[in-house]
Chain A
């Protein structure tokens, strides 16, 4: 079971998976950010939202009426990332940085063994997660405190779900370029999986 949300995009209602919603929201936020210096930026974003709604509607059918993250990513590929859309010289093409340099600890779902706590800590401190796993194992054998610490961290630390969160986890600046790189590498991963 997954949680689905209802959104109004370009005058249409959609049911959308939670992760797909996050992806969509971060894309639209990036667009907004990118065009923020532009006269009538809200008009441009509105027009793009309308087009997005049309493209998403075309993907739905009677047997499938919830937007998935795959739909969102494919539509973004059709529409282009903000850099491609706006990047024709001038102030936009310099790449405005987003929430710069924020650095948070998350659980890393991509490299997890259990809950992704050690992988997330490794990403945060930029060290091999193996070192942290060894420390945790040592703490478990030395009286079991490791298990409790691990469980607490599992509960407390949020999972890095969106691309922006994954970048934040590694402490890189969240801007268009890093997001683009991260999304690209995720596409590659998916592509490799499909080939296998």
Chain B
């Protein structure tokens, strides 16, 4: 067990949740999602985003549209679906209760 790996695993666990959070605000180009996730250091290697986006899309939680770009080929813009919003609500609740649980344990120790 090394600390970097443990940290990475922890952040990876919430990556899916964070992607949905980002997309719940507005539809985004994949590189914009990466930029936002990098700013808050949730993502370590960029490549992890793409399989997750595709899996979420295949599960019906995301959809995408093509948009013309001035800088090059058309870009894929991802957006959250209604099913995705319900799924996100579940994750929201789970996150709150997880934070609460962890804090309860920490309080006893610290």
Contacts and interface: CB of A to CB of B under 8 A. Distances in A.
Contact of B58 (A11, A12, A39): A39
Contacts of B45: 78-81, 84-85
Given A51-B30, A80-B44, A85-B45, A35 B72 contact: no
B95 interface: no
Contacts of A35: 51
Contacts of A50: 30, 73, 76
B47 A84 contact: yes
Interface string A5-34: 000001110000000000000000000000
Interface residues of A, number: 24
Measured as residues with beta carbon below 8 angstroms from the partner, the interface class of chain B is: 10 to 19
A38 B51 contact: yes
> Is chain B's binding surface mostly helix, strand, loop or mixed?
helix
A80 B46 contact: yes
Q: In the A-B complex, list the 8 residue pairs whose CB atoms are closest, starting with the nearest.
A: A80-B45, A11-B73, A85-B47, A80-B47, A79-B47, A47-B50, A84-B45, A79-B46
22 contacts: A12-B73, A35-B51, A38-B51, A40-B54, A40-B58, A43-B54, A44-B51, A44-B54, A47-B53, A48-B47, A50-B30, A50-B73, A50-B76, A51-B30, A51-B31, A51-B46, A80-B46, A84-B47, A85-B45, A85-B48, A85-B51, A86-B51
